[in-house]
Structures are given as structure tokens and as C-alpha cells.
């Protein structure tokens, strides 16, 4: 069964949904079996209210710019369809989830959380992996060498795309491989596990001719330096058949076995 995840980010008119602040932008990026599918959702929303100066400095979206965009009620179905049954990945999830819940309540729809399979807070995950360090999206991009030079202002889709790359880098390892192999139950990867190889969803990239030549040159250089074949060469070369034993005359006491004659041209 495929693992479907949706990285989600929002921009808002202010810091608190409880104070009546609204969503102005939504960005979603789809991941299936730890691979970006290319499917995204990007929506601007008319918030029907003023935008706090602090929020405006963050995302740069003015009320005038958003006045011609659809209201959230007109976009709710598109949001619900995109995230349905997926695991949401959100940086500081309580913030975005609080706004989405408030927007769905405002239009009389069931809670937003009931639409999704699970919610993972990537900020909490980052704090577990890097305690005592800065774990903002910018800090994580720097830590995992993900370029965010084009990020002048916050944008929901741009931030979701960056977070997708950060999440995949942050969770790369044995646990991530287990997820990629289909979320098997605990204990499924013991010595006796019968797993097909390569597993479904694992991207296999074959070396091209140039890469194979470069590999061969490295092995030859190792052999020259060590004055013996590289271990990789020994492991990958087929075993040579044993040389046949030629019958010879019996060797008696005081006799010397004759060497096989070699014909000369």
C-alpha cells in the first residue's frame, strides 16, 4: 500500500485564529512513497478583512491584492479533496491546523482534522533530532544544504516545497527506508524477513557508460597502488575454473616427475 503524504503551509492575516484572523494563502505538495509526485495545490484566498502589518511584512499580500480572489467557502472542496486521507506534514502544525479548523467551522463543515489520516509536526520532529538548535525552516534549509536563496518573502507553496525537501532529507535513513517499503509492522525486518528486491517504490538508477568507465578507472588505480586487485573486483569477477591436472608417469623412489613438454613453433 502506498504511503501518501501532503506537505501543507498557510499564510494568514495575523497570528491568532481565535481573534478572527483568516487564511490568505494555502500551498500543498504531494509525496507518495517518499517521492515528490509533482502534484501541488496553490490557492490565494480573499480574507474579507484587514491584514496585520506584521503579517504583511512576512508574506507581502495586501487586502487589495486579495480582494478579487475566491473566498474560503469557494475553495474548501479543493482543499478537502487534495488532503483527503493523507498524512499531513506541517511545520508548527498547531498554528496551521488551528486556522484550517476555524475556516471549516466558519462555513459549517465538519472539522478539518477528520479529513486526513494523520498530522506530523515537522517542527517537533526537528526539535527531537536537533535539540537546543534553531529549527526554523530557514535554519533547516541551511543545515541540510537546501537552497532557499529565492525565498525573499514567505509564500505558502514555496515554503511547502522547501519543507518537502527538508523533510525527506531530515528523515533519510533506515526508518525512512522502512516507510518507503510500505509501512510494515514492527519486526517485519528481522533476519528471516522475506522481502522482494528491489522493493516497490524504490527508484533504481543504472550507471551509464561514462560512469562505468570512471568506476573501472578507479578500480585500476586502486590495483596499481595496492599491487593487487581491488576487493570490489574480486567480489564481482566470476570464479575461474580450476586448471585441469595432467596425468604423468608414476614417481618412484629416486625418480623425478617430468614437467609437461611445451611445443615450440
DSSP 204-227: -----HHHHHHHHHHHHHHHHHHT
Task: State the Cα–Cα distance between residues 123 and 133, nearest whole angstrom.
Answer: 12
* Residue recorded with cell 512576512: 58
Residues 31, 5 contacting (CB under 8 angstroms)? yes
Q: What is the dihedral of CA 9, 15, 19, 23, to 10 degrees?
A: -30
pLDDT, residue 245, reads 52
pLDDT, residue 188, reads 38
pLDDT, residue 87, reads 98
Task: State the Cα–Cα distance between residues 22 and 14, nearest whole angstrom.
Answer: 7
pLDDT, residue 241, reads 56
Q: Which fold has domain 4-180?
A: Nucleotidyltransferase; domain 5 (3.30.420)
The residues, ordered by sequence, that sit 6+ positions from 134 with a Cβ below 8 Å of its Cβ are: none
pLDDT along the chain (265 residues), means of 10: 94 96 98 97 97 95 96 98 98 97 97 96 97 95 88 86 96 58 43 50 77 87 83 70 54 47 45
Summarised one tens digit per residue, pLDDT across range 53-110 is 999 999 999 999 999 999 999 999 999 999 999 999 999 999 999 999 999 999 999 9
Residue 97 DSSP symbol: H
Q: What angle do CA 75, 77, 79 make, to 5 degrees?
A: 70
Asked if 150 is an active-site residue, the reply is no
Cell numbers describing residue 140:
533547516
- pTM across the whole model: 0.66
CA 63 from chain centre, in angstroms, equals 36
pLDDT, residue 208, reads 87
pLDDT, residue 257, reads 45
- Tell me whether strands 23-32 and 35-44 are parallel, antiparallel or unpaired: antiparallel
pLDDT, residue 179, reads 47
pLDDT, residue 232, reads 76
Instruction: Tell me which of 21, 130, 154, 215 is the catalytic residue.
Output: 154
Q: What angle do CA 108, 111, 113 make, to 5 degrees?
A: 155
pLDDT, residue 45, reads 98
Residues 127, 107 contacting (CB under 8 angstroms)? no
Domain ranges of the chain: 4-180, 205-235
pLDDT, residue 199, reads 58
Task: State the Cα–Cα distance between residues 265 and 249, nearest whole angstrom.
Answer: 25
Amino acid at each position: 500500500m502506498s504511503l501518501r503524504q501532503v506537505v501543507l503551509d498557510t499564510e494568514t492575516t495575523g497570528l491568532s485564529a481565535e481573534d478572527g484572523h483568516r487564511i490568505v494563502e494555502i500551498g500543498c505538495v504531494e509525496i507518495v512513497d517518499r517521492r515528490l509526485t509533482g502534484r501541488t495545490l496553490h490557492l490565494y484566498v480573499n480574507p474579507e478583512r484587514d491584514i496585520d502589518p506584521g503579517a504583511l511584512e512576512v508574506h507581502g499580500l495586501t487586502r487589495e491584492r486579495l480582494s478579487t480572489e475566491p473566498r474560503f467557502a469557494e475553495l474548501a472542496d479543493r482543499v478537502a479533496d487534495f488532503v483527503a486521507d493523507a498524512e499531513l506534514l506541517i511545520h508548527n502544525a498547531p498554528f496551521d491546523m488551528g486556522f484550517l479548523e476555524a475556516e471549516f467551522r466558519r462555513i459549517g463543515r465538519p472539522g478539518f482534522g477528520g479529513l486526513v489520516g494523520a498530522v506530523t509536526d515537522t517542527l517537533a520532529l526537528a526539535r527531537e533530532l536537533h535539540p537546543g538548535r534553531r529549527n526554523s525552516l530557514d535554519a533547516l534549509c541551511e543545515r541540510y544544504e537546501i537552497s532557499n536563496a529565492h525565498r525573499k518573502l514567505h509564500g505558502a507553496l514555496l515554503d511547502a516545497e522547501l519543507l518537502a525537501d527538508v523533510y525527506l532529507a531530515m528523515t533519510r535513513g533506515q526508518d525512512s527506508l522502512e516507510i518507503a517499503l510500505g509501512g510494515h509492522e514492527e519486526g517485519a525486518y528481522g533476519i528471516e524477513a522475506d522481502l522482494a528486491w528491489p522493493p516497490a517504490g524504490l527508484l533504481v538508477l543504472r550507471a551509464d557508460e561514462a560512469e562505468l568507465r570512471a568506476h573501472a578507472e578507479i578500480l585500476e588505480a586502486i590495483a596499481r597502488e595496492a599491487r593487487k586487485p581491488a576487493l570490489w573486483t574480486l567480489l564481482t569477477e566470476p570464479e575461474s575454473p580450476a586448471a585441469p591436472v595432467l596425468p604423468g608417469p608414476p614417481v618412484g623412489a629416486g625418480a623425478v616427475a617430468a614437467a609437461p613438454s611445451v611445443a615450440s613453433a
